[in-house]
Structures are given as structure tokens and as C-alpha cells.
Structure 1
Amino acid sequence: MFPLQHLWARTGVFTVLLSPLSLLFAVVSGLRRLAYRRGWLASRAAGVPVIVVGNITAGGSGKTPLTIWLVNWLRSQGYYPGVISRGYGGTARGCVEVEVDSPAAEVGDEPLLIRFKTAVPVVVGRDRVAAARMLLERHPEIDVLVSDDGLQHYRLQRTIELAVVDAASGLGNGWPLPAGPLREPRRRLEQVDAVVQVVRGATLLRTDLPVASWRVDFSAGSAYRLGDPRETRPLHALPQQDWLAATGIGRPQGFFDMLQAAGIRFTPRAFPDHHAFRPQDLPADGAVVMTEKDAVKCLSFAGHQWWALQLDVAPEPRFIDWLSARIEQELPSRVRREMQDEQF
């Protein structure tokens, strides 16, 4: 995925060579959207409001950290959220509920991280309608579903669509897959409820998007030792030594930039997105720093000096105000539940 991000950043020979396949992809995906819009293919309601956090580009735009923030924010507001995800990279067949000790190889690294960071019920499955059904059957207290990714999974009806765009890379060269990063045309952003731009460090907001957007800042939080996650330190307080910065995420440069900004001396090593880490990939006796998405796959064999960097996610206040007002309109169940609780 890392080399593709460079190729997708501009139009070149690579783009021209793959343009026939991109045209075919655009036609097929367009027909599929039309089929759902016209009702030729049926969509299904989950029974509770559904918030989709997705994007129109391939690669890491920041969906999962925003999903984690959203779920924890919903809990702080008194809701009972659950999460559904495809479980990309996992081997699970059908629908599987994610536990804190589930193998990442089975359920996928991102759903496992969401479960670890939120403690809410999470179910993975290629069929998100079936995943939603399982989640609600097992956890009837859930009053809102959050779909990690799934913007293009039109079979599941949604109440609110949040599209995430990485401010550094934007929409790349603007071409559909595989010549570019687009899963859907850029005008799709005009149809979602809100577009959020993920900003890392000194990156500027993009002004070339077809719609206005909200700002969400990602910054380096504290780090914890994989062998004992209760041991945390500010990133700048890690020992002054040469670190191996290893990561298997869609946009590794953002991670490396955070380390550099904190004054960490490191050697970067980027693996493919969703890489299934093995003990031989990293030095057991070395000083290693990684993202939390990588860490959930390394807990069982982590060396003593392996640390995971947490992300601080900070949406702009106006976005939170908008989201709060919108959800209050869509989730009257919380009000009814509070009234019932007061009666008892």
C-alpha cells in the first residue's frame, strides 16, 4: 500500500496504463450505486440508527481512530453504541463477535483495536446487515450502531454518513481504482452528511474538496509498553536511544512525522497495510515503537522495550456541536430510557 500512495498522488505513466481498468471499475461501481438508488437492489434497516464512518479513497485516511473517538463520545453522552466492521485482513467466515483476546489474524486488526479501546460490543462480517443483526440479538441494549468503514456497503441503510479525508493526501490524483485511490467519484462527498479532514501536525486543510468540511486533529498521545499497558509515558519521555519505528498502516509517514516532531531518534520501517506481524519481523531485544493498530498483533510476543503510541483525536468544537444536535434528532430512545430510569 505504501508505494501505491506515491503512485496515486499524481497522474503519470502508471495512471495511463491502468486507465482502462479504472474505467471498468467506475462503470461497475456506478451501476451498483444506481441499482440501490433505484431500488433494483434492496437495502435493509438495522432497527436502530446507523452511523457510517467511511471514505471514498483506498488506504488509511483515519477512519478507525475517528470511530474510536465517536464510540467513546457516544458513551459519554449516555448512549449504548455497538460497532460493526468488515474485519479486513481477518480470516473469519460469517459473522464473529470480537473479544479482547480474539486473534487479529481472525477478526482483523482494526476491529480488535476498537474493541480494546472502547470496550463496546464489536461484530465483524462481510455482510454488515448480518453483522448488525447478530450484534443486536446478542446485545439488545444497543441503541446506535457505528459502522467502521462501510460507506460503499449500500445494502445496510444508514442514518448518518461521515466521510473521512486525509488532509495530507486528499483525493490523490482523482482517478478511480486501480489507477488512483478513489472508490467512488469525488461528487459522492456532496451526498454525505459531513466530511471531516484529518490533520496531522502542520498539515494544512485542503481547499480542493467539492464541499465544506470539519477539522479533526490527530496528534501524538502517550506511549505504553506492550508488556504492561498500564505503564505509560509521554512520547518525549521515552528513553533517549535509537528506536526502530515499525508500522503496517496505510499512511506510515504520518506516524513517522509524529515521532520526528517529538524529537525521537528512530529508523523507519514501513510494512504493508494490515501486515500480520511475526516474532521474526522485529528484534525481540530491541527498542521498538509502533502504532496501536500494530501493537494488538504483537502483544503475545512483544519484547521488553516495545512501546505503542496512542493517538489523541480532537475534532473541532463546531463539529461536536453539529454531531450532538444531529444525534439528538435521530436517537430519541435515550430520552425515553432516561425517563424510564427516573421512574424507577
Structure 2
Amino acid sequence: MSRRAKAPAYWFEGPVPWHARMLSKVYAAAIGLRMRLFRARLLRRVKVAVPVVVVGNLIAGGSGKTPLAIVLVERLRAAGWNPGVATRGYGRDDAGTPRWVDADTDPALGGDEPVLVAHRTGAKVRADADRAAAARALIGAGCDIVVCDDGLQHYRLRRDIEIEVIDGRRRYGNGRLLPAGPLREPVERGGSVDFRVLNVGDGGTEAGFGEWPMRLLADCALPLPGGRPLPLSVFSGKRVHAVAGIGDPQRFFDTLRAHAIGVVPHAFADHHRYVADDLAFGSDLPVLMTEKDAVKCRGFATGRHFSVPIRAELPEAFWVALLDRLATLKPKA
């Protein structure tokens, strides 16, 4: 029942095929040329009227960007900002059409991650392949700061703060550029960002010098048809079907196992579009899934299906440093 599109094993260990090494050189030349065109101002960067905070990563696949974007929106709002989220909305139908996304938007139209962000935060979310256009739309809707989700490589939108999210387990793989390795940009690019956040999951990984640790915590399960949340401890000592269509499904399975839950794993491709048959596992065990998967399964979910929200937790010193930096950018009242 697993339909996971796995990253090549050689991204992380073992010899790299010659054709991947050759294509990686072509890719490196292309991104190098693009950066030179931006530096020469032959490609134009767009500056908008409010601060822009970009959350992104250097590797292909998930690293924890969306949980960080969610808690970032929450902390900005608590600090008196009115944040909006600009996102491409990866994998959505008619991706060339800009769209406002809310909690009730069909994920096929709005993208699974934008719908999740809208559902969790209630913030204005604009999906647009052109992040600069998305930022302008958010400003027109009253937002006074833009959070750009997965926009580290979208250089057209000028940014004030860059946050790189690093997977604490996979890091940069073999250190090679696509397709020989997982890197979208050279490792050295991380040296120019403002904050480097290391996703340590639920613990067990140590942050290095200049890195801020981010823990991803799960403590409850939400019935998809609606109803009161259940503590994850309800499932301790029991077997469940665990569904994850994210960049690193193993991290979700490990999170459940850390709660003494017996996991029957079902890994799907990142951004997989579910149909009811995908969850027909042949037994009546409870089905626990990530929030990103849950937004695509609500239409056919039953009382056996649960979403497991993930909460990102960072040191308070990180928020002090970030908000102090933003305070210098906030217009005077």
C-alpha cells in the first residue's frame, strides 16, 4: 500500500552515477548564471512596502518549514504584527492562477501546505508562483509583514530576513547539487542567511554552533470527522496504521513510536493526493496521519481516522533575537 517516491539512496551514501554527476554540473552552471544576473541587476528584484521573512531550506524535500512557518505567524501576531503568508502552493491544480487560500479551500486548488497553514493560523494566505505578486496582494489585504513559505530560492522577492531550516538527521546528504545530491543550492549558501534552525524532531540531535534547535512535539490526536482531541497516550501500547505523505515519513513514524505506539507504517509520496482506497488497509485499526495528509482526507474520513498536530518549539532567545531584528524594520506609528 506504500506509494512513496523515495529520494535516491546515493543522495545520502554510496557512489553517485556518472549521469547524475554530469547533470549536476549543468544545474550548477544554471543557478550560477541566475545569481550573476541578479547581482548584475539584469534580473530585477522586487522590494515591497513591508518586511519580508523567508523560511526555506537548501535540500529538496521536507525539513520542517511548515511547522516553523505556523509558529512564526503565531508569534508575530502575538507581538502586534498582522502577518500574511506568501506561498507557491506546490502541486496544486492550475498553479499559474493566483488564489486566496483558507481552511476550507480544496487542497487540490490551494495546495496541502497552504490549506494547513490557513487552518492552523487563520492568517491570510496567498498562493502564487510569483511570490512578489503574492506579497503585494497580502499588503493590499492589510498585512504589515509577509512570511514567505519555502521561498529561499525565489530571489525575485527582496527579503529582509532569511531563515534556513535544516533536517537534523539528513542535513545536506552527500553535499552535492541536484540531481547528484539533494541540494538546491551549494552548502555555502547557508552562511549568508540570518538564522539557521535545526529540526531536531522530538530530541536526540544536538544543534551546532550558530544553529537554533527546533523540537517538533506531538501530544494529541484529532478525529477527522470532528470532536474532542484525544491525548496520544490513548494509543500507547496499541497498534495503529500510520500514514505520512511528507518529505521524511520516518520522522512521523518515529514520533508515534516515541509514545509507545505500535506503528504499521504507510509512507506515501510527498504531496500525495489521497482517495478512499488509499486508506483501505484491511483491518479496523485506528489510522493516525500527519496534518498535511489530513487536510486531503477529510471528505472520506471516518471515526477511525485521526490527525496528529505537530507543534514547533524553539528557544525563547530565538524569538527575542528575531523580534528585535524586526522591531528595527517596523514603521513608526
On whether the aligned pair clears a TM of 0.5, the verdict is yes
Between the aligned partners of 1:46 and 1:321, the Cα distance in structure 2 is 25
Question: Which of the residues 217, 220, 223 maps onto 2:218?
Answer: 220
Residue 240 of structure 1 deviates from its aligned partner by 5.1
Preserved contact between residue 224 and residue 307 of structure 2 (Cα < 8 Å) = yes
Between the aligned partners of 1:206 and 1:38, the Cα distance in structure 2 is 36
Q: 1:74 is matched with which residue?
A: 76
Preserved contact between residue 236 and residue 260 of structure 2 (Cα < 8 Å) = no
Preserved contact between residue 163 and residue 197 of structure 2 (Cα < 8 Å) = yes
Using a 3 Å threshold, how does the CA distance of structure 1 residues 317 and 239 change in structure 2: closer, same or farther? closer
Q: 2:23 is matched with which residue?
A: 21
Which SS does the other structure have where 1:4 is aligned? coil
Between the aligned partners of 2:150 and 2:10, the Cα distance in structure 1 is 23
Residue 206 of structure 1 deviates from its aligned partner by 5.5
> Residue type matched to 2:255 in 1?
M
Q: 2:63 is matched with which residue?
A: 61
**Structure showing the higher helix proportion among its residues:** 1
Which SS does the other structure have where 1:164 is aligned? strand
Matched residue count: 327
Question: Which of the residues 22, 29, 32 maps onto 1:30?
Answer: 32
Alignment of structure 1 residues 302-321 onto 2, 5 Å: 302-321=301-320
TM-score (norm 1): 0.91
Residue 32 of structure 1 deviates from its aligned partner by 0.6
Between the aligned partners of 2:16 and 2:66, the Cα distance in structure 1 is 33
1:49 to 2:51 alignment: yes
> Residue type matched to 1:190 in 2?
G
1:250 to 2:247 alignment: yes
> Residue type matched to 1:195 in 2?
R
Between the aligned partners of 2:148 and 2:114, the Cα distance in structure 1 is 10
Residue 6 of structure 1 deviates from its aligned partner by 3.6
Preserved contact between residue 289 and residue 308 of structure 2 (Cα < 8 Å) = yes
Q: 2:230 is matched with which residue?
A: 233
- Which runs of 4 or more aligned residues in structure 1 lie more than 6 Å from their structure 2 counterparts after TM superposition? none
Residue 136 of structure 1 deviates from its aligned partner by 2.2
CA-to-aligned-CA distance 1:84-133 (integer Å, 9 cap, x gap): 10000101332100022111111110000000000010010111111122
Q: 2:194 is matched with which residue?
A: 193
Residue 286 of structure 1 deviates from its aligned partner by 4.6
Residue 238 of structure 1 deviates from its aligned partner by 3.0
Preserved contact between residue 2 and residue 252 of structure 1 (Cα < 8 Å) = no
1:279 to 2:273 alignment: no
Which SS does the other structure have where 2:90 is aligned? coil
Using a 3 Å threshold, how does the CA distance of structure 1 residues 213 and 240 change in structure 2: closer, same or farther? closer
CA-to-aligned-CA distance 1:23-45 (integer Å, 9 cap, x gap): 11011011111211221110111
CA-to-aligned-CA distance 1:151-171 (integer Å, 9 cap, x gap): 110110101000110111101
Q: 1:167 is matched with which residue?
A: 168
Preserved contact between residue 239 and residue 285 of structure 2 (Cα < 8 Å) = no
Q: 1:341 is matched with which residue?
A: none
CA-to-aligned-CA distance 1:199-224 (integer Å, 9 cap, x gap): 113432354xxx72111111223111
Between the aligned partners of 1:178 and 1:112, the Cα distance in structure 2 is 29
Which SS does the other structure have where 2:7 is aligned? helix
1:133 to 2:131 alignment: no
Preserved contact between residue 237 and residue 260 of structure 2 (Cα < 8 Å) = no
Gaps of 5+ in 1: 337-344
Preserved contact between residue 164 and residue 198 of structure 1 (Cα < 8 Å) = yes
Residue 5 of structure 1 deviates from its aligned partner by 6.0
Identity %: 40
Alignment of structure 1 residues 86-165 onto 2, 5 Å: 86-92=88-94, 93-137=96-140, 139-140=141-142, 142-165=143-166
Gaps of 5+ in 2: none
Between the aligned partners of 1:52 and 1:332, the Cα distance in structure 2 is 19
Preserved contact between residue 55 and residue 165 of structure 2 (Cα < 8 Å) = yes
Q: 1:203 is matched with which residue?
A: 204
Which SS does the other structure have where 1:161 is aligned? strand
> Residue type matched to 1:184 in 2?
E
What is the RMSD computed on CA atoms of the aligned residues? 1.6
Between the aligned partners of 1:319 and 1:225, the Cα distance in structure 2 is 33
Q: 1:332 is matched with which residue?
A: 331
> Residue type matched to 2:146 in 1?
L
Preserved contact between residue 286 and residue 303 of structure 1 (Cα < 8 Å) = no
Which SS does the other structure have where 1:320 is aligned? helix
Preserved contact between residue 207 and residue 213 of structure 2 (Cα < 8 Å) = no
Q: 2:291 is matched with which residue?
A: 292
> Residue type matched to 1:164 in 2?
V
> Residue type matched to 2:298 in 1?
L
> Residue type matched to 2:152 in 1?
L
Deviates more, 1:218-227 or 1:80-89: 218-227
Preserved contact between residue 163 and residue 196 of structure 2 (Cα < 8 Å) = yes
Using a 3 Å threshold, how does the CA distance of structure 1 residues 316 and 286 change in structure 2: closer, same or farther? same
Which SS does the other structure have where 1:136 is aligned? helix
> Residue type matched to 2:43 in 1?
L
> Residue type matched to 1:329 in 2?
T
